[in-house]
Amino acid sequence: MITKNFFGETSDGRRVDIYELKNSNETAVDIITYGATVNNIFTKDKNGVSGDILVGFDDVEGNEKRSSSHGVTVGRYANRIENGEFTIDDVKYEVYKNEKGITCVHGGDELSKAVWNAIIVDDNCLEMSYTSPDGSMGFPGRVEFKVTFTLYENDSLKIDYYAVSDKKTVINMTNHSYFNLSGGENVLSTELMINADAYTPTDERSIPTGEIRPVEETAFDFRAAKPIGRDIGADDEQLIMCRGYDHNFCLNEGDGPAATAYDPESGRMLEVYTDLLGLQLYTGNFLDGTVVGKGGKPMQKHAGFCLETQFYPNTPNMPEWPQCTFDAGEKFTSTTVFKFSVK
């Protein structure tokens, strides 16, 4: 069942609606048209008590003015582009540098700050669409974006991404939800597994160095589930520079989940499935309690974790990596599934 309600207005007067997708298990997902944002996910714990497992905001103002991409649909290019520039067919493009005036991150936040059009497809599927004009944020091509959210009876939320441009361009989309399965102060006790034998270390700007580094015998080895906090304070320059995890993992091939997260306190479990090659783990390293979220609760450091399915960061400038440059008329499609359960 899907219901629609008025959520509020942006500071410049744009109407924002909220759609609730709910199944017979009373699992519910709230999505707002601002940023095509997954604003709340309500699931039951091992005692049958329902709770919101996302860190975020109660109103439009919070999403618009205080958000660090909480729950948003990210694009045109998820993650970072070095120096905000890349070349396609010998043409150099300079895009918006929204991170310290040096780096383009998340496509300049265009998609996450847009108000998307929404259509209820059927009783469990919501489609959102947005058109980005040619040259927006410096990117080439007029791009038609669509994202569909489908909530199934098995408590899976499937997100399907679609984009097509009228010019050759780069496209890399993801969702940036901050999960907290217990609702506690931080997620350090959450047991996380990532099905990856390697990750991409970064420089001081959080730009990949180009190395594909094995996770074995490092703090980045999540092949067997372990608490997020076990090694987050390790004497590792990668963790020190980023104040925690903010890294792309190179996913192994296979049909199983790319990642699983389990909270022993609540019994809640999250499984992540994707058809993409990379997964960014971010552990809310720059939250410091100054940002107030849902229910007036300050967001402390490591208040949530993000599992962003993606192409590797900075691929337009890394020709040796799998590319996400699409010809005019060529379709970008991708699917991510978040499956919720208890044990």
> Which residue do the tokens 């520079």 mark?
241
**Hey, which residues does 338 pair with through a beta bridge?**
157, 272
List the structure tokens of 44: 């039951």
Q: Does the annotation mark 308 as catalytic?
A: yes
Q: Does the annotation mark 247 as catalytic?
A: no
Q: What is the 3-state secondary structure (H, E, C) of 112-155?
A: HHCECEEEEEECCEEEEEEEECCCHHHCCCCEEEEEEEEECCCC
List the structure tokens of 104: 């383009």
Query: Which residue among the candidates 70, 82, 110, 176 is catalytic per the annotation?
Result: 176
List the structure tokens of 249: 């993992």
Supply the Cα-derived Rg of the chain in whole angstroms.
19
Measured CA distances, 15 to 12, 21, 327 (Å): 9, 20, 34
List the structure tokens of 230: 């076990």
Query: Which residue among the candidates 20, 82, 110, 308 is catalytic per the annotation?
Result: 308
For the chain, count helices (H), then strands (E). 3, 29
Active-site residue set: 176, 308
